[in-house]
């Protein structure tokens, strides 16, 4: 019964957020503005100003201390009984070589045809991911952000990607970030 109620709350279309009072609807995605290790203000520079020395943050690229390289990515997670996946806009590390490859092909719109790259998920997702997790990074065509798959098959986030989240868990995640439906809805 609780599952039916949670599904209906999400599927019903739109809801007023208990925290921000904005109207949201399913599908509703969440995103991190910067990688978790980014210690500075989240002031974005243009992608075209990318520099690999020092510190840099844009909509799609991040360099920390000229040593750590990140790209914005997307982790899709199905939600049981609902149409369309939940999208978590997050950041992943890349090696310097793969970061350079990604940047080189970014404006061309066609990713290199190869095996996925290795990275570390650099943002937490409620209680599903509280520490960096190894991920496979799949570059996408047409300037779409890379898709991520959790590499460790028995990790709770990998299980969620495979089996889907319950609607109750989805509501818990929205509540964790202050975007759940108001109690009266």
pLDDT tens for each residue of 28-82 = 788 899 999 999 998 999 999 999 999 999 999 999 999 999 999 999 999 988 8
Is 95 among the domain residues?
yes
pLDDT of residue 3: 46
What pLDDT is stored for residue 2 in this prediction?
46
Question: What's the maximum distance between 2 C-alpha atoms anywhere in the chain?
Answer: 55
The pTM of the full predicted model, rounded to 2 decimals, is 0.85
pLDDT of residue 105: 86
Residue 15 is assigned to a structural domain of this protein: no
Instruction: Flag whether 4 is in a domain.
Output: no
Domain count within the chain: 1
**DSSP 8-state assignment for residue 117:** E
Structural domain includes residue 126 = yes
The verdict on residue 78 lying in a domain is: yes
Q: What is the pLDDT of residue 130?
A: 80
Instruction: Please check whether residue 155 is in contact with residue 148, taking contact to mean a CB–CB distance below 8 angstroms.
Output: no
Dist. CA 72–CA 55, nearest whole Å: 16
Its domain, for residue 61, covers 29-164
Q: Identify whether 88 is part of a domain.
A: yes
Give the pLDDT score at 63. 98
- A 10 A CB-CB count for 68 gives 18
Q: Does a structural domain hold residue 45?
A: yes
């Amino acid at each position: 019964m609780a599952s039916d109620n949670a599904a209906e709350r999400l599927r019903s279309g739109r809801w007023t957020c208990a925290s921000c009072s904005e109207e949201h609807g399913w599908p509703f995605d969440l995103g991190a503005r910067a990688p978790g290790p980014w210690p500075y203000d989240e002031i974005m520079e243009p992608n075209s100003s990318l520099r690999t020395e020092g510190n840099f943050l844009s909509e799609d690229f991040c360099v920390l201390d000229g040593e750590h390289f990140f790209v914005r990515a997307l982790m899709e997670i199905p939600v049981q009984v609902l149409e369309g996946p939940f999208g978590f806009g997050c950041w992943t590390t890349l090696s310097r070589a793969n970061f350079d490859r990604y940047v080189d092909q970014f404006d061309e719109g066609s990713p290199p045809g190869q095996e996925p790259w290795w990275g570390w998920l650099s943002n937490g997702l409620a209680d599903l991911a509280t520490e960096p997790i190894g991920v496979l990074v799949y570059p996408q065509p047409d300037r779409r952000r890379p898709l991520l798959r959790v590499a460790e098959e028995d990790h709770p986030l990998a299980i969620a990607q495979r089996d889907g989240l319950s609607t109750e868990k989805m509501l818990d995640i929205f509540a964790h970030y202050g975007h759940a439906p108001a109690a009266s809805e």
